[in-house]
Amino acid sequence: MMQMLAAGGMAVLTDGQRSADDDNPRGYYEWERIKQLPQDPACIAEAEGKAVKVISQLLFALPGAYDCRIIFMERPLAEVVASQVEMIRRRGTSGAALSQAVLIAALQSHLNQVNASLQHRPNILLCRVEYHQVLRDPMCASETVQQFLHQTLDIASMAQQVNQSLYRCRTEGTVFPKE
């Protein structure tokens, strides 16, 4: 999504610190400082007028003083966990000491809590974008994002960024979505 936004003409906030790797061959579009959000909520001010990638956990810490539009990427959790397990293996770190099934349930609870915390926050607008929908119909997804952001974006360029070959970590039984 960050690549799509950048291609569409949206300014993105990234420090380029985390370089592309096997997990993400096109790079991460991350801004390391966002991890400080819980300790320094005001740092979000640097993202004003720009797009910044924020992990769901950090949304709890979004301050009330800034209007935010959140594009919330949703993907089946089984795929998310499979992808995370692979990333953790490559990073050589150790993740949650839970079975995949329990971790999926825990992540679902986490998302429920995030969603509950975002409700009734007048400074936050939310647009849920389904990962598979983007793969299936990138143009439609790009238009949806453009409407949500109230900005004129280059939708065709955005849609071109969607590379179905990067769809990996399919879980057993997941059928690749077709047109």
The nearest distance, CB 17 to another protein, in angstroms, is: 11
Q: Which two tokens stand for residue 122?
A: 């007048």
Per the CB < 8 A criterion, the answer to whether 131 and 73 are in contact is yes
Residues for the chain: how many in total? 179
Residue with tokens 């320094």: 40
- Can residue 16 be called a binding residue for another protein (CB under 8 A)? no
Stretch near another protein under the rule CB under 8 A, chosen from 66-74, 95-103, 146-154, 168-176: 95-103
87 contributes a contact to another protein by CB under 8 A:
yes
Indicate the SS3 state at residue 41.
helix
The least CB distance from residue 98 to another protein, in Å, is: 5
In the structure encoding, which two tokens stand for residue 163, read together? 């590379």
Number of other residues whose CB lies within 10 A of the CB of residue 14: 18
By the 8 A CB rule, do 127 and 142 touch?
A: no
Determine the Cα–Cα distance for residues 6 and 8; give it in Å rounded to an integer: 5
CB of 59 to another protein, least distance (A): 10
Kindly state whether residue 36 participates in binding another protein, applying the rule CB under 8 A.
yes
* 137 to 176: interface string for another protein, x by CB under 8 A: ----------------------------------------
Cβ proximity to another protein: between 77 and 153 the closer is: 77
Among 16, 46, 65, 109, which residue interacts with another protein (rule: CB under 8 A)?
109
Query: Which segment (83-91, 124-132, 153-161, 170-178) binds another protein by CB under 8 A?
Result: 83-91
Residue corresponding to tokens 């004003």: 48
3-state secondary structure of 125: strand
The C-alpha atoms of residue 3 and residue 155 are separated, in whole angstroms, by 12
Binding site for another protein (CB under 8 A): 18, 35-36, 38, 55, 57-58, 60-61, 84, 87-88, 91, 93-98, 102-103, 105-107, 109-110, 112-113, 115-117
